Chain A
Amino acid sequence: MTASGSEQLLFIVAVTAVAAPLLGRYLAAVFGGGAAPGDRVFLPVERLTYRALRIDPDSSWTWRAYALAVLAFGLVSTLLLYVILRLQGQLPLNPTGAPDMPPLLSFNTAASFVTGTNWQAYEGETAASYLTQMAGLVVAQFTAAAVGLSVALAVVRGIAGSARTIGNFWVDVTRSLVRVFVPLSIAGALVMVGQGAVQTLRGFLTATTLAGGRQVIPGGPVASMEVIKLLGTNGGSFYGAGGAHPFENPTGFTNMFDLLLVIVLPFAIVFMFGRLIGRRWQALAIVAVMAVIFIGHTVVSMQAEVHGNPRMPASVSQLVTATSPGGNSEGKETRFGPEASALMTVGTMGTTAGATDSALDSYTPVGGAGAFVAILLGEIGPGGDGGGLYSILVLALLSVFVAGLMVGRTPEFLGKKIRGPQMKLVVAYVLTIPIVVLVLGSTSLVLPAGTSSILNPGFHGLSEVTYAYASAANNNGSAFAGLSADTTWYNTTLGLAMLIGRFVPIVLALAISGSLAGARVHARTRATLGTAGPTFAVFLFGVIVIVGGLIYFPMLILGPIGERFAG
């Protein structure tokens, strides 16, 4: 890595290390049940909401009721977004004249945004009206993030709490939005606009260029979407080019600001967890595992991209010099350069944002593999808002079980015994997404409907397909974008992959939480396996790598590994 690459990585690590614990403390105050900063402003808004929803904010539910509310909310959100997309051509606020979206593409897009995946098979500039972007997609981005955080809170209450109930979904969603996502988004959006991000309701302008040609200058309420796309670990952009577009991500500063918006909150949620359960070392062990995964895959990709494309002809210089960023610059913006591009793009792959500032399809095999691996490890480096926490907690349960078997003790996590019923749910959780990815991915590779969409030949083309399903099922939403995904086959199967990959794990995580809710908490003895120290962190890391690695290894061999060693 070059000096500027390492400095930017250090900057990200340092800011996160300071900001995440502070934000975690705030979150713990907000969701801990007592008084919290800003009550005077936020409480009246929340009370009004509860009255409108006719709910009792002090009631707490069983996991079944909680899961049903999540599913009901998901269903209504999907239907509403579907209707907006289908009718956008006839609705107001459409200065660019976007037509109604066709049925299957609308299904795919609605599923994509409601699940927080933000896979985009449409072109933002021409295929989505401003009304769709503002009132449809942005609302879904807010709610998807709030639902993720709410589910994490419910899971924590069940796993660690003493009550038999796990909270109230409407209260969790309301408080997440009112106290976390909306205020942070307003502040973040203004920072972005100050740097040059666009925020206007005008449609296309036509400029007469210096050389006498014509150029369309797009507009739109971009910054307001950009910030919740990142903060909510969603990833769906206003424009087709996403975070590479200068109107979304105008400077080297916004590029790193974008990455911070993505990763600080998921880390903060783990710190919040530590405070809520009163075991901060437990949170630190989890944060350490997440940080190792985040830094690991990011550094590998940065290194590969700055080194350049090994097939580049000798007539071209990829060397990094004082006057040239060099590296593998196909699909990358000059103002970011290859390292910061890889840092931002591959860095967000460890979360479910999958926000990119460069074209993944043009990454070197090793650089692209960094993104691939981050997704396949199950989005826990540091994962989505809330999703990262409940995913790694499930893997922690698996780890204590395996460790318990190895040393012949009853596995315990946070003082609660882990038994057969929990382990069945854990295994179902761990297998759901790989089954979706492998079944749909391999089916696509034998059907003409799947293979005809591939752009690049050879191993790389195979990666385009398998990556699409890995990305959809893990609710990441990034793409090896050469794949033509707006087809009947891909719109349908990827839409299903996203819905299954979102809601089945949520229901299973809530079920695990429910089965542990109210279980007896055993006092810690000398025989208890500690789950907060470095030993457990290393063990958890090992389990994550073995589970993810073994399931997907054949897929990686046929994709980036084959590509790297071919020819």
Chain B
Amino acid sequence: MRRHLIASIVLLAGLTVLLGFGYPLLVTGLSYLLFRHQAEGSLIYRHGKLVGSALLGQSFTDSKGNPLPQYFQPRPSAAGSGYDGKSSGASNLGPDNPLLIGFVAGVNTVGLTGAPSARNPFATRADPACVPVTVKGTPVTTPVPGERFARQPDGSYVCDPATIPERALAYRRFNDLPANAKVPVDAVTASGSGLDPDISIANALDQAPRVARTRHLPAAVVIALVHRETQGREWGFLGEPTVNVLDLNLALGGLR
């Protein structure tokens, strides 16, 4: 056993030097030689200042967190408070979780007493799947008797804005879509990394008229730009076609 232990120590010491430092440094050196732009993170500079990475999504919101209508909006993000490069990650909400799909009758509905119920007692006219929030804005999925919920001026419940039904309502409102318009699923779901740089073509096309209106541009010009910025599948069949939101918004600046 002692012989094995000594050999283990010697081997690990050698491997730590060769594989722990030699290997990554060799790869770093070769990468800088061959693919410097990619190795550094596909950084995008404008007027000499760093505006982001072509590979990382970013928020297009004002200082209060409201989406800015003159920009195409990325997908919802679960990375920190949204597109936080220091804490990538997904929502991890299960497919039945009310925080994701709202209170759906017969699936996960909970009554005012906390027991499962056949209908959603918190339903509002706009959102039958409404999940109520406390006066502080925290969503409540397991109500206890006597709990106090936030209310609208008309007495109906205030709903958790992060559920998919609420996001779909907000998306329609923001983009002036008709009440029966179907919302592309990527527009109301968070990505795996929370840093997804892309949206689907359908999502970009739904947003194009609103962006055009805000920027006083003809809708056709912005729609044409979306098609120009669309990335096809690699090799024609790997992955999905996408529109990179940062590239698209940067290209908007060049339109007249």
* Contacts from A to B (Cβ < 8 Å): 4, 7-8, 11, 49, 52-55, 68-69, 72-73, 75-77, 80, 123, 125-126, 134-136, 138-139, 142-143, 170, 173, 177, 182, 185-186, 189-190, 193-202, 204-213, 215-219, 221, 223-225, 239-241, 244-247, 250-253, 255-256, 308-313, 315-318, 321-337, 340-341, 356-359, 361-365, 455-458, 460-461, 480-482, 563, 566-567
* Set of chain A residues within 8 Å of B124, measured between Cβ atoms: none
- With A126-B86, A139-B12, A245-B193: A190-B55 Cβ-Cβ less than 8 Å: no
* Set of chain B residues within 8 Å of A205, measured between Cβ atoms: 41, 43, 50
Selected from A211, A317, A364, the residue in CB contact (under 8 A) with B185 is A317
A318 vs B250: C-alpha distance when bound (angstroms):
29
Selected from B14, B31, B89, B198, the residue in CB contact (under 8 A) with A223 is B31
Which single residue of chain A is at the shortest CB-CB distance from B99?
A456
A221 vs B241: C-alpha distance when bound (angstroms):
29
Cβ B88 vs Cβ A240 within 8 A: yes
Taking the nearest CB of chain B, how far is it from the CB of A507, in angstroms? 14
* Set of chain A residues within 8 Å of B202, measured between Cβ atoms: 317, 321, 323-324
A52 vs B238: C-alpha distance when bound (angstroms):
47
Selected from A77, A190, A212, A333, the residue in CB contact (under 8 A) with B193 is A333
Which single residue of chain B is at the shortest CB-CB distance from A463?
B94
Cβ A331 vs Cβ B191 within 8 A: yes
Cβ B20 vs Cβ A309 within 8 A: no
Cβ A196 vs Cβ B85 within 8 A: no
A407 vs B11: C-alpha distance when bound (angstroms):
50
- With A135-B16, A244-B90: A308-B185 Cβ-Cβ less than 8 Å: yes
Taking the nearest CB of chain B, how far is it from the CB of A40, in angstroms? 20
Stretch at the interface among B57-65, B132-140, B143-151, B152-160: B57-65
| Best-surrounded residue of A240, A252, A321, A567 (most CB of chain B within 10 A) | A252
- With A317-B184, A318-B185, A324-B200: A362-B191 Cβ-Cβ less than 8 Å: no
A234 vs B100: C-alpha distance when bound (angstroms):
31
Interface residues in B17-31 (C-beta closer than 8 Å to A):
19-21, 23-24, 26-28, 30-31
Cβ B39 vs Cβ A185 within 8 A: no
* Set of chain A residues within 8 Å of B52, measured between Cβ atoms: 207, 209-210, 215, 217
Selected from A239, A256, A461, the residue in CB contact (under 8 A) with B238 is A256
Knowing that A125-B85, A207-B52 touch, tell me 5 more A-B residue pairs with CB under 8 angstroms: A199-B28, A316-B182, A324-B185, A334-B186, A567-B106
Which single residue of chain A is at the shortest CB-CB distance from B56?
A246
* Set of chain A residues within 8 Å of B190, measured between Cβ atoms: 330-331
Which single residue of chain B is at the shortest CB-CB distance from A209?
B58
Interface string of B53-82 (1 = CB under 8 A from A): 101101111110000100100010001000
Selected from B7, B51, B100, B129, the residue in CB contact (under 8 A) with A208 is B51
Taking the nearest CB of chain A, how far is it from the CB of B66, in angstroms? 11
- With A186-B23, A208-B50, A240-B87: A76-B12 Cβ-Cβ less than 8 Å: yes
Which 7 residue pairs of A and B lie closest in terms of their CB atoms, listed nearest first?
A: A252-B239, A244-B192, A135-B20, A359-B90, A241-B88, A482-B92, A72-B4
A-B contact count (CB 8 A): 407
* Set of chain B residues within 8 Å of A359, measured between Cβ atoms: 90-92, 192
Which single residue of chain A is at the shortest CB-CB distance from B80?
A216
Taking the nearest CB of chain A, how far is it from the CB of B129, in angstroms? 6
* Set of chain A residues within 8 Å of B195, measured between Cβ atoms: 241, 245-246
Cβ A316 vs Cβ B205 within 8 A: no
Selected from B12, B59, B197, the residue in CB contact (under 8 A) with A246 is B197
* Set of chain A residues within 8 Å of B16, measured between Cβ atoms: 80, 135, 139
Cβ B165 vs Cβ A207 within 8 A: no
A236 vs B55: C-alpha distance when bound (angstroms):
21
A481 vs B89: C-alpha distance when bound (angstroms):
9
A135 vs B95: C-alpha distance when bound (angstroms):
39
- With A252-B238, A316-B164, A330-B95: A77-B8 Cβ-Cβ less than 8 Å: yes
- With A244-B192, A246-B55, A311-B101: A217-B239 Cβ-Cβ less than 8 Å: no
Which single residue of chain B is at the shortest CB-CB distance from A320?
B240
A284 vs B93: C-alpha distance when bound (angstroms):
41
Cβ A336 vs Cβ B20 within 8 A: no
* Set of chain A residues within 8 Å of B129, measured between Cβ atoms: 313
Cβ A362 vs Cβ B92 within 8 A: yes
Taking the nearest CB of chain B, how far is it from the CB of A563, in angstroms? 7
* Set of chain B residues within 8 Å of A313, measured between Cβ atoms: 101-102, 104, 129, 164-165, 168
Taking the nearest CB of chain A, how far is it from the CB of B107, in angstroms? 4
Cβ B58 vs Cβ A215 within 8 A: yes
Taking the nearest CB of chain A, how far is it from the CB of B75, in angstroms? 7
- With A135-B21, A327-B185, A340-B239: A460-B91 Cβ-Cβ less than 8 Å: no
A456 vs B108: C-alpha distance when bound (angstroms):
12
Taking the nearest CB of chain A, how far is it from the CB of B127, in angstroms? 9
* Set of chain A residues within 8 Å of B240, measured between Cβ atoms: 4, 252, 325, 334-337, 340
Taking the nearest CB of chain A, how far is it from the CB of B108, in angstroms? 7
* Set of chain A residues within 8 Å of B191, measured between Cβ atoms: 244, 329, 331-334
Interface string of B188-215 (1 = CB under 8 A from A): 1111111111111111010000000000
Cβ B185 vs Cβ A247 within 8 A: no
Cβ B39 vs Cβ A198 within 8 A: yes
B224 at interface by CB-CB < 8 Å: no
- With A73-B11, A170-B7, A328-B95: A312-B35 Cβ-Cβ less than 8 Å: no
Selected from B11, B28, B71, B186, the residue in CB contact (under 8 A) with A325 is B186
A344 vs B40: C-alpha distance when bound (angstroms):
26
* Set of chain B residues within 8 Å of A136, measured between Cβ atoms: 20
Taking the nearest CB of chain A, how far is it from the CB of B84, in angstroms? 7
Cβ A241 vs Cβ B19 within 8 A: no
B255 at interface by CB-CB < 8 Å: no
A375 vs B13: C-alpha distance when bound (angstroms):
34
Selected from B107, B141, B200, B234, the residue in CB contact (under 8 A) with A334 is B200
Cβ A323 vs Cβ B95 within 8 A: no
| Best-surrounded residue of A211, A255, A317 (most CB of chain B within 10 A) | A211
Cβ A309 vs Cβ B15 within 8 A: no
Cβ B87 vs Cβ A202 within 8 A: no
A206 vs B50: C-alpha distance when bound (angstroms):
8
Taking the nearest CB of chain A, how far is it from the CB of B103, in angstroms? 11
Which single residue of chain A is at the shortest CB-CB distance from B71?
A211
Which single residue of chain B is at the shortest CB-CB distance from A185?
B23
B222 at interface by CB-CB < 8 Å: no
Cβ A182 vs Cβ B90 within 8 A: no
Selected from A53, A252, A311, the residue in CB contact (under 8 A) with B10 is A53
Cβ B239 vs Cβ A201 within 8 A: no
* Set of chain B residues within 8 Å of A246, measured between Cβ atoms: 55-56, 193, 195-197
Cβ A138 vs Cβ B4 within 8 A: no
Cβ B27 vs Cβ A8 within 8 A: no
* Set of chain A residues within 8 Å of B249, measured between Cβ atoms: 210
Cβ A563 vs Cβ B100 within 8 A: no
Taking the nearest CB of chain A, how far is it from the CB of B7, in angstroms? 5
- With A210-B71, A334-B200: A312-B90 Cβ-Cβ less than 8 Å: no
Interface string of B226-251 (1 = CB under 8 A from A): 00000001110111111000100110
